[in-house]
């Protein structure tokens, strides 16, 4: 969420940003409502002051009929203006939450993901001297993946990982956490069942409240039973990434500038309803409802050059992880039409997946400046005791099972076996090197 003064001062640039991001928000109406709100606030303050004076003038003696009548009129007028103020504030708020961050000057202008721009590539697509299998067939042949029973038990997009695939996945998570800890990131296993405010604050709700028709979030229907046996009726949700929980860690708190940056790496299961992906990637485990991920988050000072430096830093972690695994990959700079409302600059990393005949997204790195911090109310104080909102950045360090798809397909051999990436062999009994067909 942006500051209203900033919106007033940069209205034309924000209108352009909204158009380029494909966001339908009426900035002129928002500014009109803000003006009306401020005028009403002034009227209410004046009327309340008059009512207070009227009440005080009658103290110690019986109020006159004129005073009583004036008091009633003031009360009625205040009630009418308060109702009008409430309606204006609700409409204003509904527009405020849609106002986008102005993207960086070097962000490509484009309508959708077809206009994202490749900025970096490492390695060449894997070539085979035999007909390669996709991860589905490899998973079946090597007893690593059971989709049929996954669907039977969990429903659409359900799956089981088995045998060496389990060790591969857990090894990936441990390798990512170890690397990030060595770089000064604080490891955290965050809550995965959360209140609404972390999801609103981080931008995972499309509006002020959860919208089941749009938001790819699972809502939990159960009421919460407290320690005294009472029931608390409060919405709870499953996170789709550790990002909301990590960003909300310091909600409503003020940090010291000397303690910045704060660097978190969070491991969590993740849950996504994928309601917006009907008909996409219906086979295999490329697009599923639950998975595991290690997420990076940085809380930085409110300095765009410093934040850009940290953006590069978290991107390089994903780069290193893909190189550690020996996977061909590329970086894309995301265009305006494929960015979220809160994004100032965004990059995706994609690994080569032979069965797709192309690259598949395995991570995403975003600089959201202070948009999320304002919603979550996370500030810091400098030496002059001035308070500012932190800048918030996030990135996927490693996510499974998409990275598994790339490993299984790129490391397959002619005899149907799969070579285990050297960096992960230490997690296998006896430093196993190959996953072979069972005899």
Q: What is the pLDDT of residue 58?
A: 56
User: Could you give the percent of the chain with pLDDT greater than 90?
Assistant: 85
361 is annotated as an active-site residue: yes
Taking all residues of the chain, what is their mean pLDDT, rounded to a whole number? 93
Closest C-alpha to 95, from 31, 41, 37, 35: 31
> Hey, which of 44-53, 74-83, 159-168, 269-278 has the most confident mean pLDDT?
159-168
16 is annotated as an active-site residue: no
Q: What are the CB-based long-range contacts (under 8 Å, 24+) for 36-42?
A: 36/88, 37/85, 37/88, 37/89, 37/92, 40/81, 40/84, 40/85, 40/88, 41/85
Contact 237, 219 (CB under 8 A): yes
pLDDT at 341 over 90: yes
When pLDDT is averaged across residues 113-135 and rounded to a whole number, the result is 96
318 is annotated as an active-site residue: no
When pLDDT is averaged across residues 366-388 and rounded to a whole number, the result is 96
pLDDT at 1 over 90: no
Q: What is the pLDDT of residue 294?
A: 98
pTM comes to 0.91
Q: Which of 92, 157, 272, 375 is catalytic?
A: 272
Q: Which of 92, 330, 375, 402 is catalytic?
A: 402
pLDDT at 351 over 90: yes
CATH 3.30.930.10 fits 113-435, yes or no: yes
When pLDDT is averaged across residues 109-134 and rounded to a whole number, the result is 96
Per the listing, tokens 């067939």 go with 137
pLDDT higher for 22 or 223? 22
pLDDT at 275 over 80: no
Kindly report, residue by residue over 202-261, the tens digit of the pLDDT: 999 998 999 999 999 999 988 777 778 888 888 999 999 999 999 999 999 999 999 999
pLDDT at 187 over 80: yes
272 is annotated as an active-site residue: yes
Q: Which of 356, 361, 417, 419 is catalytic?
A: 361
Q: Which of 196, 364, 366, 400 is catalytic?
A: 364
In whole angstroms, what is the distance from residue 338 CA to residue 23 CA?
Answer: 11
Q: Which of 287, 356, 374, 425 is catalytic?
A: 287
Question: Where residue 159 falls among pLDDT bands split at 50, 70, 90?
Answer: very high
Domain ranges, ordered by start, for the chain: 4-96, 113-435
364 is annotated as an active-site residue: yes
Q: Which of 4-8, 279-283, 370-374, 435-439 has the lowest mean pLDDT?
A: 279-283
When pLDDT is averaged across residues 337-366 and rounded to a whole number, the result is 96
Q: Which of 47-56, 177-186, 231-240, 294-303 has the lowest mean pLDDT?
A: 47-56
Question: Where residue 111 falls among pLDDT bands split at 50, 70, 90?
Answer: very high
For domain 4-96, the CATH architecture is: Orthogonal Bundle (1.10)
Provide the phi-psi class of 22: left if phi over 0, else alpha when psi is between -120 and 50, else beta: left
Question: Where residue 3 falls among pLDDT bands split at 50, 70, 90?
Answer: very high
Q: Is the dihedral of CA 64, 69, 73, 79 positive or negative?
A: positive
Question: Where residue 316 falls among pLDDT bands split at 50, 70, 90?
Answer: very high
Q: What is the pLDDT of residue 328?
A: 98
């Amino acid at each position: 969420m942006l500051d209203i003064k900033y919106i007033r001062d940069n209205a034309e640039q924000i209108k352009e940003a909204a158009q380029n991001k494909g966001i339908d928000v009426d900035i002129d109406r928002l500014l009109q409502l803000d003006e009306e709100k401020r005028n009403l606030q002034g009227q209410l303050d004046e009327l309340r002051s008059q009512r207070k004076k009227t009440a005080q003038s009658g103290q110690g003696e019986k109020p006159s009929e004129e005073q009583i009548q004036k008091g009633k009129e003031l009360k009625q007028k205040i009630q009418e203006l308060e109702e009008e103020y409430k309606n204006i504030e609700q409409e204003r708020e509904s527009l405020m939450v849609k106002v986008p961050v102005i993207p960086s000057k070097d962000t490509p202008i484009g309508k959708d993901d077809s206009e994202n721009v490749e900025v970096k590539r490492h390695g060449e697509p894997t070539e085979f001297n035999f007909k390669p299998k996709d991860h589905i067939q490899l998973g079946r042949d090597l007893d690593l993946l059971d989709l049929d029973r996954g669907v039977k038990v969990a429903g659409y997009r359900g799956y089981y990982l088995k045998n060496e695939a389990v060790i591969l996945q857990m090894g990936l998570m441990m390798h990512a956490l170890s690397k990030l800890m060595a770089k000064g990131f604080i490891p955290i296993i965050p809550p995965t069942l959360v209140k609404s405010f972390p999801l609103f604050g981080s931008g995972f709700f499309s509006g002020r409240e959860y919208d089941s028709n749009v938001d790819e979030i699972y809502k939990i229907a159960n009421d919460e039973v407290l320690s005294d046996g009472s029931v608390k009726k409060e919405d709870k949700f499953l996170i789709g990434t550790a990002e909301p929980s990590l960003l909300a860690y310091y909600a409503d708190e003020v940090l010291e500038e000397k303690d910045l940056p704060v660097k978190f790496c969070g491991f969590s299961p993740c849950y996504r309803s994928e309601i917006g992906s009907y008909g996409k990637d219906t086979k295999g485990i490329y697009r599923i409802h639950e998975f595991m991920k290690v997420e990076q988050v940085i809380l930085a000072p409110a300095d765009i050059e410093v934040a850009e430096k940290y953006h590069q830093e978290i991107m390089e972690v994903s780069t290193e992880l893909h190189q550690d695994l020996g996977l061909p990959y590329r970086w894309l700079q995301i265009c305006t039409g494929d960015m979220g409302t809160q994004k100032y600059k965004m990059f995706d990393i994609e690994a080569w997946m032979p069965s797709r005949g192309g690259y598949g997204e395995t991570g995403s790195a975003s600089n959201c400046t202070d948009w999320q911090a304002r919603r979550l109310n996370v500030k810091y104080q400098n030496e002059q005791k001035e308070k500012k909102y932190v800048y918030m950045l996030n990135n996927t360090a490693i996510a499974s099972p998409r990275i598994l798809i790339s490993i299984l397909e790129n490391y397959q051999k002619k005899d149907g076996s799969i070579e285990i990436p050297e960096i992960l062999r230490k997690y296998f009994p006896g430093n196993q090197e190959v996953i072979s067909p069972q005899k």
